[in-house]
Structure 1
Amino acid sequence: MMKKIQQIKGLVLLILAAFFVNSCNIEEEVLDEITADQVETISASDAIQLIAPAYAVMREMLQRDGVWGVNQHSSDETLGPTRGSDWDDNGIWRQLHTHTWDANHTFIRLAWEDLNQGVSRSNGALNTFINQIPGIDANLIAEARVLRSLFMFYIMDMFGQVPFREIDEIDFSVSGRVLTRAEAFEFIRTELEESIADLLNETEVPYGRLTKNAARTLLVVLNLNHEVYLDQKVDARYTDAVNFATDVIGSAAYTLAPAEDYFGMFANDNTETRAQGEGIIVATFVNDLDLGEDNVSMITQTLHYNQRFGGGDGNNDGHLDFSAWNGFTTIADFYNRWDQNDPRFRAESEITAANASTVSENNPYVFNGINRGFLQGQQFDGQGRYVLHRVSSSDNGQVAVADPADANTPLLNFTVDLSLTGNTESNGVRVLKYAPDPNAPVITRTDNDFILWRYSDVYLMRAEAQFRLDGGGQADLDAVRTARNMTSIPISEDALLDERGFELYWEGHRRRDLIRFGRFTDAYTLKDASPAFRTLFPVPQSAIDSDPLLDPTLGNQ
């Protein structure tokens, strides 16, 4: 029987456009299916369509109820406090913060499913590339191998075991293998090392595609964390981390962004992140395309309802016109570590909308002037007026802003203090790293590309690997701090962990860092000390029920 690769109409082209916008022309032709005969004759530019669905999973990883969410909320950087009944969700956010989840936690299940879907899609692309397209470009095979390795790395890191099939094992009525953490480590390490030679450089592929330096960066991450994954120290692995980091730095493909451009890396027009210098592995977005998932939640999930975007007249005039969700905060232990003069802490940058309007009886909202970084204290709108805590129906015009001289208004003043439940709308310091785009076409589309790994992280990882080898690494730590206009501090475990927090907060790395430094199970704000098995998430019960080879005890003791 002739084999067919079924494609959902339009999906591939939408995904491709997100990766290749401004880099190449996309022919707007939808292929309903590609037969085996057609596969043998398609060009390399068409063949990339077969891996585009796997790339799309990278966008899923940043969602609040998936990979990003469970990694962030189980760390000391992020908390989802309950305000009245808002954000209670039957305690699902509290369970992450207090390390009391179980195998039925919905967000852990979604993370597991997304990552395994990424592996499956990568395998499908590899199977087609290797077995059905004679003479396929070697770089496409290497790209699919590295993409599969990325998803497998997250599964290994989060769950400690990795379901695995060879690319030609397509009888899904039969269980595949389950790799132990050590087996997965070696498999991923080999895949990444073997792929480097065939991958292309940054100047040879469109923005958002995986490159030689992407594979090297993943090898730095893998080797740096080897003591966690192998339960033993192997100096050769730290040496490899140093060497692969040196290869990335020596390639001269990236530069450390200057302090004044730190938040520019997360701007709504950050497609030029590579030119700015730091984005190595990036999930790309385009605000002209509805790609099903978007990163607008990185903005709406933290800001208050009254921190509204657009003109606010509700006329659907082509600009964002919505209120945020008043959700996530940071906690006191993390907030109080900061030197508030650090340029990464806050940027006083008013963001204005092209159609920003004034307050009137029929238009109670204006676009807010919102800072970046950590938002604490009174919040203001774009004209310097106080944003209110809650719009009162008894006020004329129901305005959400007030003159600063008016003392009889419920002001929106974000406080450091908060609790797990019973919070007011103003409790908790908000974190806004990715900038809102006030001129995006619709609420669900923003143009900010999400950075999974950055160049500054390579310096910090090399510093740490060298420190764990021989106590060195000071120059690399200094390089990052100098770029951020901060003075040198003596290198130590505490200094390295703190600096990683200052540089990489809310980028999805903190859980892994805390585990590597032996701090993940410590007590901190609104969290008691937790048992060691919490360094792993349990495989979801639904997966355990369907595959007897999965170990139900890991992360679930």
Structure 2
Amino acid sequence: MKNRMKYIIFIVTISLFMTACHDDLDQDPIDPDSFTEQDVFVNTTEAKKALAKLYASLALTGQQGPSGQPDISGIDEGFSQYTRMLFNLNELTTDHAVVGWGDAGLPDLHGLYWSAGNDFTGAMYLRLAQEVSFTNAFIQNASALPDAEAQTFIAEARFLRAFAYYNLIDFYANVPLVTQITTDLPSQSSRTELFDFVESELLEIQDLLLDSNEYGRVDKVAAWALLSKLYLNAEVWTGTPRYSECVTYSEHVLNSSYSINMNDANGNGNAYDELFLADNDTNGAQQEFIFALNFDGIQSQTYGGSTFLVHAATGGSMDPLSLGINGGWGGLRTTKALVEKFESSEIDVPTLNSQLGGSLSDWGLVGDLNEWGDEDVEMYETSTDVYQIYITLADGQLKFRFNENWGNNYGDNGADGSLEAGGENITVTAGTYLVTLNLATLTYSFEAIEAAGDNRGMFYTDGQSLEIGSIPPFAEGYAVTKFKNIDSNGNQGSDSSGDFVDTDLPVIRLAEIYLNYAEAHLRGGGGSISTAVDKINELRERGYGNTSGNITSGDLTLDFVLDERSRELYWEGQRRTDLIRYNYFTTNAYLWPFKGNQANGTAVDAYRSVFPIPTNTISTNPNLIQNDGY
């Protein structure tokens, strides 16, 4: 499926969702080698290729790769890709990101002052409208196929249509509900009507979808997961809480065959970063991906997707080659509001020493750490002829000495780890170490001790300031290195030029459903507090690499879950929706740098919780009413 997408060039005659997304979308195939509609639906083998187009429409942008024959006109083709727009609307508008580019309408998003004519809010509307149109055409045409497999394809198309409407409900609230190909001007549906449609579709298709499917395609667990997401937001979108249903369908997902990735494929101490590497379709991360969009640097090229997330977040003194690309675009960074959500703990040296056992001895350390004075830093005798101590050192030199007597000291001639009586000073670099002296073998070691902390926070700080005084300079704000175009072995993705990225992007993954369950439970949806805590701790143990970050039921509050969603899901297209659910997005209950276009943040009008229907769409369809405030 992943490699096949490049070869599927399939444009169906689509419904005029908004009196046409754009005129160039309502057309016959534009490539002379393309399949015609009759060819595509002659049998299930050909229909599967058309199904690939429905998935590819969320990943790609046109008919010939990164640019040249766009599905949507009126905006740079790379800008119009779905996950790039998802980032712009759901991350760039929040505390998770700022961008230094000055493209018209782009700074408006982080400043929360966009207008109805904003190209980026309009592009997402058109992209989702196109997906609805494509799925409607597929469902109608594939319905004539008698094979049972075709019914599975139709169920997948209905899922993708429901997913598009889930996004439309979230972003635009009241849009036309169109389920058939038509040239009539559609009427506007309410958010509740749209919600009810998505719910009914997912409930109907859950048993029509396969129990498991090939990577890149959805199965019945995806329907349960999208219902979990839908019900979590029901109170905001319809005024009626549905948290018990959120718990129910989250439990279905929790009890499915999907699992949290715990495979530390690159051996760096935790298994979180594997989710965002170039081989995340094979390194174990795929077991967590319930719905992922597939990208390949050769077969499916786009200037959106993971290519955007890796290139746009690279700049300053960062080394592009270490991220598997040929250069950075120097645009995206994050605010201190995200950085400061990641906990780290100081190394408790006295406690570590108390856990060594043994007793203080006459052997100790002397050197720059005590200005080569008379009183050594005494070590603990932990076994016969073995002495140890945890200690924090600055850059400098030291030796081992007995009872403050220079007549009995050891150094290291040649810096080879072996000791000689009266040998040369031992050079050390700053850090916290477990220092071991073994007199039986006349050897020593310095084992670096790292502070325990949450490794999910992947930031580049060299030359970057935590505080943002002005958004355009790339150096202001930490850079984010979460997404990379290198695999678990450190190899670059398939495009040797470094232009395009292989990393697949999870749109729904199991970790999100863990968090949905916990939040819905705390909001009165039932379920088990112990299950919620266990699932949160499973994510935290992966992030910390150990149990040092584990919580108890007393720690589990709604605000803790919101912060945990930020730590686990940042830059994955969730944040704005989460903040709205907590009533933090527009209010002064939570401020972040440059919210409301103010350096310290300020509240904005409540109508900013939904985006405007594009001005061109309103002007061409008199049945539509613009959202309040626009």
TM-score, with normalisation over the residues of structure 1? 0.74
Q: Deviations over 1:513-542 (max 9, x none)?
A: 000011111332122101111100011111
Q: Is the 8 A contact 1:64 1:70 kept in 2?
A: no
What corresponds to 1:479 in structure 2? 535
What corresponds to 1:517 in structure 2? 582
SS in 2 for 1:77: coil
Change (3 A) 1:40 1:449: closer
What corresponds to 1:453 in structure 2? 508
Q: What's the offset of the Cα at 1:274?
A: 6.0
Change (3 A) 1:376 1:219: same
Structural mapping, 1:258-269, within 5 Å = 260-269=270-279
What corresponds to 1:326 in structure 2? 330
User: 2:310 aligned with 1:299, yes or no?
Assistant: yes
What corresponds to 1:469 in structure 2? 524
AA matched with 1:429 = Y
**Aligned length in residues:** 447
How far apart are the structure 1 equivalents of 2:580 and 2:342?
A: 21
How far apart are the structure 2 equivalents of 1:45 and 1:310?
A: 41
Q: What's the offset of the Cα at 1:310?
A: 4.3
Match of 1:208 among 212, 216, 229: 216
SS in 1 for 2:98: coil
Q: What's the offset of the Cα at 1:424?
A: 3.8
What corresponds to 2:551 in structure 1? 488
Structural mapping, 1:374-389, within 5 Å = 374-378=458-462
How far apart are the structure 2 equivalents of 1:308 and 1:135?
A: 52
Change (3 A) 1:507 1:88: same
User: 2:595 aligned with 1:533, yes or no?
Assistant: no
Change (3 A) 1:427 1:31: same
AA matched with 2:290 = I
Q: Is the 8 A contact 2:250 2:517 kept in 1?
A: yes
Q: Deviations over 1:45-83 (max 9, x none)?
A: 3211222222112215866752221111111111114xx
How far apart are the structure 2 equivalents of 1:209 and 1:341?
A: 41
Change (3 A) 1:88 1:291: closer
Q: Is the 8 A contact 1:328 1:430 kept in 2?
A: yes
Match of 1:80 among 99, 106, 110: 99
What corresponds to 2:88 in structure 1? 69
How far apart are the structure 1 equivalents of 2:518 and 2:159?
A: 25
Match of 2:178 among 152, 165, 189: 165
Change (3 A) 1:536 1:309: same
Normalized per residue, the structure richer in strand is 2
Q: What's the offset of the Cα at 1:334?
A: 2.2
Q: What's the offset of the Cα at 1:40?
A: 6.2
Deviating more after overlay: 59-68 vs 328-337: 59-68
How far apart are the structure 1 equivalents of 2:612 and 2:147?
A: 42
Change (3 A) 1:425 1:67: closer
What corresponds to 1:56 in structure 2? 56
Match of 1:89 among 76, 85, 103: 103
What corresponds to 1:359 in structure 2? none
Q: Is the 8 A contact 1:71 1:511 kept in 2?
A: yes
How far apart are the structure 2 equivalents of 1:101 and 1:199?
A: 39
Change (3 A) 1:493 1:483: closer
What corresponds to 1:242 in structure 2? 247
Change (3 A) 1:175 1:310: same
Match of 1:426 among 471, 475, 493: 475
Q: Deviations over 1:275-326 (max 9, x none)?
A: 6531111001122314445421101111115534349xxxxxxx96632011
What corresponds to 1:283 in structure 2? 293
Q: What's the offset of the Cα at 1:460?
A: 0.9
Q: Is the 8 A contact 2:5 2:52 kept in 1?
A: no
Q: Is the 8 A contact 2:192 2:237 kept in 1?
A: yes
User: 2:146 aligned with 1:134, yes or no?
Assistant: yes
User: 2:504 aligned with 1:500, yes or no?
Assistant: no
Q: Is the 8 A contact 1:66 1:111 kept in 2?
A: yes
Gaps spanning 5+ residues in structure 2: where? Answer: 11-31, 61-79, 264-268, 347-454, 487-491, 542-548, 596-601
What corresponds to 2:496 in structure 1? 441
Match of 2:618 among 537, 544, 549: 544
Deviating more after overlay: 436-445 vs 151-160: 436-445
SS in 1 for 2:200: helix
Q: Is the 8 A contact 1:521 1:534 kept in 2?
A: yes
AA matched with 2:594 = L
Q: What's the offset of the Cα at 1:41?
A: 4.2
Change (3 A) 1:292 1:323: closer
SS in 2 for 1:507: coil
How far apart are the structure 1 equivalents of 2:516 and 2:504?
A: 23
Q: Is the 8 A contact 1:310 1:322 kept in 2?
A: yes
Change (3 A) 1:33 1:46: closer
Q: Is the 8 A contact 1:217 1:248 kept in 2?
A: yes
AA matched with 2:501 = T
Match of 1:122 among 135, 158, 161: 135
What corresponds to 1:397 in structure 2? none
Q: Is the 8 A contact 1:62 1:69 kept in 2?
A: no
Q: Is the 8 A contact 1:459 1:477 kept in 2?
A: no
SS in 1 for 2:176: strand
How far apart are the structure 2 equivalents of 1:107 and 1:160?
A: 17
Q: Is the 8 A contact 2:6 2:299 kept in 1?
A: no
Structural mapping, 1:373-412, within 5 Å = 373-378=457-462
Q: Deviations over 1:383-422 (max 9, x none)?
A: xxxxxxxxxxxxxxxxxxxxxxxxxxxxxx111011344x
Structural mapping, 1:22-37, within 5 Å = 32-34=34-36, 36=38
AA matched with 2:35 = E
Q: What's the offset of the Cα at 1:478?
A: 3.4
How far apart are the structure 2 equivalents of 1:414 and 1:125?
A: 49
Q: What's the offset of the Cα at 1:102?
A: 0.8
User: 2:467 aligned with 1:417, yes or no?
Assistant: yes
Change (3 A) 1:239 1:280: same
When the two chains are superposed, the root-mean-square deviation of aligned CA atoms in Å is 2.7
Deviating more after overlay: 490-499 vs 50-59: 50-59
SS in 2 for 1:280: strand
Q: What's the offset of the Cα at 1:451?
A: 0.6
Q: Is the 8 A contact 2:82 2:127 kept in 1?
A: no
AA matched with 2:53 = P
AA matched with 2:142 = F
Q: Is the 8 A contact 1:304 1:324 kept in 2?
A: yes
How far apart are the structure 1 equivalents of 2:291 and 2:298?
A: 22
Q: Is the 8 A contact 2:261 2:284 kept in 1?
A: no
Q: What's the offset of the Cα at 1:98?
A: 2.0
